[in-house]
Amino acid sequence: MIWQQISHWSCLLKGLIFSLLLQPLMTQPSIITQPNFVLLLADDLGIGDVGCYGNDTIRTPNIDRLAREGVKLTQHITAAPLCTPSRAAFLTGRYPIRSGMDAINNYRVIFWNGGSGGLPPNETTFSKILQQQGYSTGLIGKWHLGVNCEHRNDHCHHPLNHGFDYFYGMPFTLISDCQTTEEPEMDRAFRRKVWLYTQMIALATLTTALGRLIGLFSVHWKTVTCLALFSLLFFVSWFSSYGFVRYWNCIIMRNHEVTEQPMVTERTTSFILRESISFIERNKHKPFLLFLSFLHSHTPLLTSEKFLGKSTHGLYGDNVEEMDWMVGQVLDAIDKEGLKKNTLVYFASDHGGWLERQEGKRQLGGWNGIYRGGKAMGGWEGGIRVPGIFRWPGVLPAGKVIDEPTSLMDIYPTVVHLAGGVVPQDRVIDGRDLMPLLQGTVEHSEHKFLFHYCGTHLHAVRWHQKDSGAIWKAHYVTPNFRPLGAGACYDRGFCPCFGEGVTHHGPPLLYDLSRDPSESQPLSADTEPLFDTVIEQIGRAIEEHRRTLTAVPQQLSVYNIIWKPWLQPCCGTFPFCWCDKEGDDKLADL
């Protein structure tokens, strides 16, 4: 009797638990209609380069249209002022210091496809979660987060190992070496060394050969031949003026396969556009995530004939206008497939414009508007405040402008929640769901403090004091501008994060960005009654933040950064890596 009752109860209980468990599963599809995501990320584009952010001479009608039809963020902040760490943070929703993707040393980005550092396999990108939620996920364009760990084809850091079903583009980043008409930047240093070795070996060959002829040495002719071959090899590699770097770094991959080595830059733009549109067309019947990671507007500014000489801002302006046109083409494809109402489109840049990038008076880097500093410069606003636009007709208001502090890391939880997923619970996620703010159900962003790193060095902290509306920013370390006062490090190409090239501030330099967005007049205890209170609050926030950090393997350590022949992605038999699998016939039907 008792047993019967117990089994009766346990049966009921089981039924109850079962129905509770099942309920969310059964109701989910009706509540959540998973939207598509099209994430557009520009490379090195400054906030001052875009029409809807106040530029009246550069033409960006398509990006402006996105803003008109959606929400424009005016305080959208990247987690780092450089590509590799900023992109790592974007994809993981975490400060790059948490994944080991920001540097202690001066190697602040990935330098070679043949390096061993990269986005660790145990980091979970939003794309991976979307994949589990049934999404079709594609990355087209730039990656710059590593390829291999231990073997040439282990692809441990590759996009396909990080939640993307499809990848077409550069595992690395554009550099001037990629375009044969440009003065190569990486190769220059490389070639100087190779030339030195060429001369040394040639001299050794001549001496041994002469010595042998007149009977001074008794070396074997084989040795002489060997030396001669070596000097020939060195001479050839020196002579091919765009030596190895272009073959090692400027490559295109489709999924796991290298398809162009080196890449054919004349057609890269049209291929990236074609791939993006065809990804949308292929996946229109299921939820998809397209991450279009532009090679624009990074030097060497690959620009098609159609746009050359068309802007009033030289090659840089031409390149930005071409990118805007590409944005338009992608939006048109979304419209054409009838996906506009079901697609969240996002546009941003990975960090601010590169001020040092000039050739004489010619501007080759971006423009950061009224904001001070730029790419690579720790906490200065110009390097981290970027355009940020969301469009989702019918769900998000049109033409709305939000001045609250937001982060590129916020995309992570926003996208994951909309897809019906859950963010990982076993680690700190620094991003915050943006939907309530974008839809206007809350007034303030969830971010109280944002930490502005330069490598692993904390340079500045922002505190949004919600009750007063003040946006305090304290700089503990700032780069020394050279030439002094110019707001950039022209003699170095990049500002450093530590050492002789920076100044430590005690007390910190304090600004209120709500009154002084250009960070022109630091406040002091004399001019600002709240000075001490603010510094104290920020100091406590830093302590709290530091307690959440744990030691992780350094992905950008010297060992991980250097080029390793056994990791070099290669089309062919190493070291004879050369191929063009896209063929010109495919270009013809564009």
Contacting positions for ligand NAG (CB under 6 A): 48-49, 54-58, 120, 122-123, 313, 316-317, 363, 366-367, 369, 427, 552-553
- Shorter beta-carbon distance to ligand NAG: residue 369 or 379: 369
Cα 50–chain centre separation: 19
Query: Between 48 and 300, whose beta carbon lies closer to ligand NAG?
Result: 48
User: Which DSSP string do the residues of 328-391 spell out, in sequence order?
Assistant: HHHHHHHHHTT-GGGEEEEEEESS---TT-EETTEE-S---TTS---TT-TT-HHHHEEEEEEE
Minimum Å distance from CB 522 to ligand NAG? Answer: 25
Is 402 in contact with 70 (CB distance < 8 Å)? Answer: no
Name the minimum Å distance from CB 355 to ligand NAG: 11
Can you tell me the distance from the alpha carbon of 520 to that of 371, in angstroms, rounded to the nearest whole number? 9
| Residue 32 tokens, joined | 């959540």
Q: Report d(CA 114, CA 566) in Å as an integer.
A: 8
Phi (first) and psi of residue 166, to 5 degrees: -140, 135
Q: Which residue is nearest to ligand NAG (CB)?
A: 367
For residue 115, give the amino acid letter.
Answer: G
Least spacing, CB of residue 258 vs ligand NAG, in Å: 28
CB nearer to ligand NAG: pick between 429 and 534: 429
Cα 425 to chain centroid distance, Å, stands at 25
User: Which of 170/174 has CB closer to ligand NAG?
Assistant: 174
Q: Which is nearer to ligand NAG, 94 or 246 (CB)?
A: 94
Nearest distance from C-beta of residue 263 to ligand NAG, angstroms:
26
Q: Of the residues 8, 52, 76, 144, which is catalytic?
A: 144
Question: Cα dihedral angle (252, 277, 76, 499), rounded to 10 degrees?
Answer: 0
CB of 367 to ligand NAG, least distance (A): 3
Catalytic residue check, 457: no
Collapse the DSSP code of 50 into the 3-class scheme (helix H, G, I; strand E, B; otherwise coil) and give the result. coil
Q: How far is the CB of 354 from ligand NAG (least distance, A)?
A: 11
Other C-beta atoms within 10 Å of 143: how many? 28
Separation between Cα atoms, residue 514 and residue 507, nearest integer Å:
21
83 catalytically annotated: yes
Taking the least distance from each CB to ligand NAG, the nearer of 148 and 363 is 363
Of 159 and 369, nearer to ligand NAG (C-beta) is 369
Residues 473, 162: Cα–Cα separation, whole Å: 34
Our CB check for ligand NAG shows the closer of 95 and 190 to be: 95
Active-site residue identified among 83, 250, 454, 497: 83
Q: How far is the CB of 423 from ligand NAG (least distance, A)?
A: 12
Pick between residue 56 and residue 526 the one whose CB is nearest to ligand NAG: 56
Q: How far is 496 from 272, CA to CA, in rounded Å?
A: 33
Token pair listed for 399: 């033409």
Dihedral, 201, 207, 209, 215 alpha carbons, nearest 10: -150
Quick one: three-class SS letters along 291-342? EEECCCCCCCCCCCHHHCCCCCCHHHHHHHHHHHHHHHHHHHHHHHCCCHHH
> Residue type at 30?
S
Q: H/E element holding 140?
A: strand 136-142
- Are 420 and 34 within 8 A, CB to CB? yes
Here the tokens at position 169 are 């583009």
CB 290, min distance to ligand NAG, A:
26
469 φ/ψ angles, rounded to the nearest 5 degrees: 85, 0
In angstroms, the CA 373 to CA 379 distance is 9
Shortest distance (Å) from residue 102 CB to ligand NAG: 15
Which residues carry out catalysis?
83, 144
